[in-house]
Structure 1
Amino acid sequence: MLAAIVDGVLESFRIGVGFLWTAAWAIIMGLVVTSLVQVYVSKERMAQVLGEDDISGLTKATVFGAASSGCSFGAVAIGKGLFKKGAHAVNVLAFMFASTNLIVELGLMILLLLGWEFLVAELVGGVILIGVMALIVHLTLPENLFDDVRQELNRRDQTNGITEDPTCGMEGTDEYSLTTDSGQTLQFCSAGCMETYEQEVASRGGWRDELLSWGGWYKVGNQYRKEWSMIWKDVVAGFLVSGFVIVFVPQWVWNALFFQGDGLLVSAENAIMGVAIAVISFVGSMGNVPFAVALWGGGISFAGVIAFVYADLITIPVLNVYRKYYGWNVMLYILGVFFVTMAFTGFLMEELFSVLGIVPDLAGGQTATEQTYFEFNYTFFLNVIAFALSGVLLFVYRRGIGGPGQYRDPVCGMRTDDSGPTISFDGQTYYFCSNHCKRSFENHPTDFSRVHQTDSGGTRPQSHEHH
């Protein structure tokens, strides 16, 4: 008996780690792409445009969300910041869903672990879900509910001194704060975000200049680190839990929870139960994809699995965050709207795919226990490349956050000292992190020389006089 349990535990770890190994390069590459988009696609007017209660606002919310990857909690925190600044409720909900379901790394994971059919259902169904959700909200939204909540949220945050990090939208802390020349106090969630803000204030270079400098890649490395810090627990938990579920949950449990067979009733029940399992699973973000593999292996229908994948925004821990931010009424309203739209869209995807004849056949592939995960194949080499890229980005981040010197490169804003390239212009000396930034300055000195350079810890570095 003990030997069987030990063998089961080892097999659970083999499957869970095997899933993680299979998807590692996809997660890393996806997060790199996301980090580049986050850093170099301007979102300054996001809250303003998301205040539009129309198709245009909803479309922009979806696009912004897909370009603003994060874990479920990160998406909810950013959504709160947008909501406080005036974004319409339906656009905030669309933004949160897109930022957790229509992102590059999730799509690659679904493709590798579940197949192209699930990826198509995730993308097409995600757009349909947002449309259905918007329709339901417009038909059922209690009058003045969200306006009253917005006013109360702003009042409470002002009373408690809560401010959002201006670089990422997360909640700032007193530990990482600075005062601008205008006397405004800004708070940041981390030293990395505060450094990024100071760097952006001190720089005037375009994205091409920055991507050829230490400063530009520091921003990407810092964003990449923040992305990982938000999702790694969910990812690891999801992969390990999936292994144990596959090995230790007997088939009769799945048969008891999910109707078997064909027909509209079976699809509908499986979709509803898939969302219900997601609510109580405590696994959010990308961690629910390997869990979905376990459900698929247990014989759950296509509708149930895809509905489960949609539902990472209504797990119990995330619902508790809604309650803290907005109160019980709004939390229950969000739960009801998301539950109905997620279950309905999962059901709709199975019926649509059945008509098209592209519902995947579970019997046609290997089970998780039959698969060999660690081989010298394309996965191995892609993982080596991805891990190397990850190491480079983290090295650049560490170089930036601990960079020596009291000066700021006027092109990219990178912290630097007097050992690097310098230029004297108009009676002042300017210091650079690289020869590329120096050449950029030489080509357009009047554009960059407006920036003062000494880093005194504030938001306006002072210049260094040349004698």
Structure 2
Amino acid sequence: MPATLIDGVLESLRIGVGFLWTAAWAIIMGLMITSLVQVYVSKERMANVLGDENLSGLTKATVFGAASSGCSFGAVAIGKGLFKKGAHAVNVLAFMFASTNLIVELGLMILILLGWEFLVAELLGGVILIAVMAILVHVTLPENLFDEVRRELNQRDHEHGTTEDPTCGMEGKDEYSLTTDGGETLKFCSAGCMETYQQEAASSGGWRDELFSWGGWYKVGNQYRKEWSMIWKDVIAGFLISGFVIVFVPQWVWNALFLRGEGLLVSAENAIMGVAIAVISFVGSMGNVPFAVALWGGGISFAGVIAFVYADLITIPVLNVYRKYYGWKVMLYILGIFFVTMAFTGFLMEELFNILGIVPNLAGGQTASEQTYFEFNYTFYLNTIAFVLSGFLLYVYRRGLGAPGQYRDPVCGMRTDDNGPGLTHDGETYYFCSKRCKRSFEEQPSEFSHVQPTVGEEGREQSHDHH
């Protein structure tokens, strides 16, 4: 490798990791707030509330979305669950949009990496976008198409035995299932969600009591871990790609793609191109903010950058998920509606900000290459606090402090109490989370009897404290 290329790669990594360092505390704090909301704000059957195509349904969808996870795929999966249960298409799209654009961690990241003007455009634009989309869908929605798709979706899932995870709305898997006291079998997408459900069932007392118990913090730790597991790839990819784009994409490429100068046409073209680049960039949710910094540094207009930030719900991998869930027709419909809405809102934001005189001045700031990222400043202290809190939550989760149950079901590995079904084998007593697991053990005891029947000593003591 020639020296200049090595220098370029190192500089790309310096910028990418520098961006990540700059925004780390914002992402961590945002995910913690999201985890607290997810754990303590009950998800009473949202679909009932989101069934009507009216302002109240739309507002609730937006608020629910803003209070939920920030992963594009998670948002789409939960949207599918709501749609299946009867939520109106407009409200499902609004929910998905809010949960990827109006969330705390994204707002903090935009504020730090792009500035307050972009944050205002993101929040105000997010609301305008949902309104524009609702009007477009209202005018163009082939009503019977969506009813037909909903029927097909329910029928297909019924035939394949697909059930939604009751805690997060994503697709449940056979290996994470349990039978309730009422004889109903529930399926979960992961061990984490199954554990969350069990805790919900086991916990008593309001959220204040929970916050002062290990059990409450254990739940938050479990949720926090799940939030990270959904977005970490997007986040790291976005930061690393942005470094390489800033260093290696020459200015003439941006000049060829984006018109320069003033005027409505330039604004409109930039907004459309911003969305088009987002579709093919493959970077979802949080990862597209550092990428937007690269575009902004390339001299793309405000409209283009903000439209790009909006467009994480129509990247190619996400479009493929729509296709799998709803078929080609609905995927193309969603792509069309979102594309027009996102480009139009980006354009609108620039025009509005021009009138108000608050379009940020590109020439004023340092370029990414001129910045030094690692210094003893407020970022360092905030990151330190964020990492310590992160460590605390993961420690609570790993040690199982306050986790329900002091015994481990040898079949599925879940924690359980001694009031669950149990049996003695080779002088050792085992407890199970469900009769199904107990039956599996009885059929092949040799396969499971090597598992320690109790959770580690420290977990036991804590469990006794908690109960």
With normalisation by structure 1, the TM-score equals 0.87
1:26 alignment partner AA:
A
Give the aligned partner of residue 65 of structure 1: 65
- Secondary structure at the aligned position of 1:144 is classed as helix
Size of the alignment, in residue pairs? 421
Supply the distance in 2 between the matched residues of 1:251 and 1:98 (Cα, whole angstroms).
Answer: 33
Within 5 A, what are the aligned runs for 1:129-140?
129-140=129-140
> What whole-Å deviation, never above 9, does each CA across 1:2-39 have from its counterpart, x for those lacking one?
00000000000000000000000000000000111111
1:159 alignment partner AA:
E
Residue 303 of structure 1, CA deviation: 0.1
Contact kept, 8 Å, 2:416 with 2:431, in 1: the verdict is no
Residue 404 of structure 1, CA deviation: 8.4
Residue 390 of structure 1, CA deviation: 0.5
Give the aligned partner of residue 433 of structure 2: 457
Give the share of equivalent positions with the same residue, in percent.
Answer: 86
Larger CA deviation: 47-56 vs 393-402: 393-402
Structure 2 vs 1, CA of residues 50 and 455 (structure 1 numbering), >3 Å: closer, same or farther? farther
Supply the distance in 2 between the matched residues of 1:401 and 1:190 (Cα, whole angstroms).
Answer: 20
1:39 alignment partner AA:
V
Structure 2 vs 1, CA of residues 211 and 455 (structure 1 numbering), >3 Å: closer, same or farther? farther
Give the aligned partner of residue 331 of structure 2: 331
Within 5 A, what are the aligned runs for 1:115-134?
115-134=115-134
Q: Give the structure, 1 or 2, with the largest relative contact order (CA under 8 Å, sep 6 or more).
A: 1
Residue 403 of structure 1, CA deviation: 5.1
2:345 alignment partner AA:
T
Within 5 A, what are the aligned runs for 1:47-196?
47-196=47-196
Within 5 A, what are the aligned runs for 1:139-288?
139-288=139-288
Residue 415 of structure 1, CA deviation: 6.4
Residues 1:297 and 2:259 are matched in the alignment? no
Supply the distance in 2 between the matched residues of 1:250 and 1:401 (Cα, whole angstroms).
Answer: 53
Cα RMSD between the aligned structures? Answer: 2.1
Give the aligned partner of residue 7 of structure 1: 7
- Secondary structure at the aligned position of 2:178 is classed as strand
Supply the distance in 1 between the matched residues of 2:115 and 2:178 (Cα, whole angstroms).
Answer: 48
Contact kept, 8 Å, 1:198 with 1:458, in 2: the verdict is no
Contact kept, 8 Å, 2:296 with 2:305, in 1: the verdict is yes
Contact kept, 8 Å, 2:218 with 2:400, in 1: the verdict is yes
1:14 alignment partner AA:
R
Give the aligned partner of residue 392 of structure 2: 392
> What whole-Å deviation, never above 9, does each CA across 1:280-310 have from its counterpart, x for those lacking one?
0000110000000000000000000000000
Structure 2 vs 1, CA of residues 250 and 395 (structure 1 numbering), >3 Å: closer, same or farther? same
Contact kept, 8 Å, 1:403 with 1:416, in 2: the verdict is no
- Secondary structure at the aligned position of 2:134 is classed as helix
Larger CA deviation: 248-257 vs 395-404: 395-404
Supply the distance in 1 between the matched residues of 2:89 and 2:367 (Cα, whole angstroms).
Answer: 42
Residues 1:34 and 2:34 are matched in the alignment? yes
Contact kept, 8 Å, 2:303 with 2:347, in 1: the verdict is yes
Supply the distance in 2 between the matched residues of 1:170 and 1:455 (Cα, whole angstroms).
Answer: 28
Supply the distance in 1 between the matched residues of 2:19 and 2:220 (Cα, whole angstroms).
Answer: 27
Residue 402 of structure 1, CA deviation: 9.8
Structure 1 runs of 4+ with >6 Å offset? 414-418
Residue 397 of structure 1, CA deviation: 1.5
1:281 alignment partner AA:
S
Contact kept, 8 Å, 1:192 with 1:401, in 2: the verdict is no
- Secondary structure at the aligned position of 1:175 is classed as strand
Supply the distance in 1 between the matched residues of 2:310 and 2:272 (Cα, whole angstroms).
Answer: 12
1:188 alignment partner AA:
F
Supply the distance in 2 between the matched residues of 1:41 and 1:47 (Cα, whole angstroms).
Answer: 16
> What whole-Å deviation, never above 9, does each CA across 1:149-172 have from its counterpart, x for those lacking one?
001000000101111111111111
Supply the distance in 1 between the matched residues of 2:308 and 2:344 (Cα, whole angstroms).
Answer: 12
Give the aligned partner of residue 433 of structure 1: none
Supply the distance in 1 between the matched residues of 2:207 and 2:239 (Cα, whole angstroms).
Answer: 36
> What whole-Å deviation, never above 9, does each CA across 1:40-74 have from its counterpart, x for those lacking one?
11121311101021000000000000001221001
Unaligned stretches of 5+ in structure 1?
Answer: 409-413, 419-427, 429-453, 460-467
Larger CA deviation: 181-190 vs 307-316: 181-190
Contact kept, 8 Å, 1:322 with 1:330, in 2: the verdict is yes
- Secondary structure at the aligned position of 1:187 is classed as strand
Supply the distance in 1 between the matched residues of 2:44 and 2:350 (Cα, whole angstroms).
Answer: 39
Give the aligned partner of residue 349 of structure 2: 349
- Secondary structure at the aligned position of 2:338 is classed as helix
Unaligned stretches of 5+ in structure 2?
Answer: 409-413, 420-429, 436-467
Supply the distance in 2 between the matched residues of 1:46 and 1:276 (Cα, whole angstroms).
Answer: 33
Structure 2 vs 1, CA of residues 213 and 404 (structure 1 numbering), >3 Å: closer, same or farther? closer
Contact kept, 8 Å, 1:48 with 1:86, in 2: the verdict is yes
Residue 399 of structure 1, CA deviation: 2.6
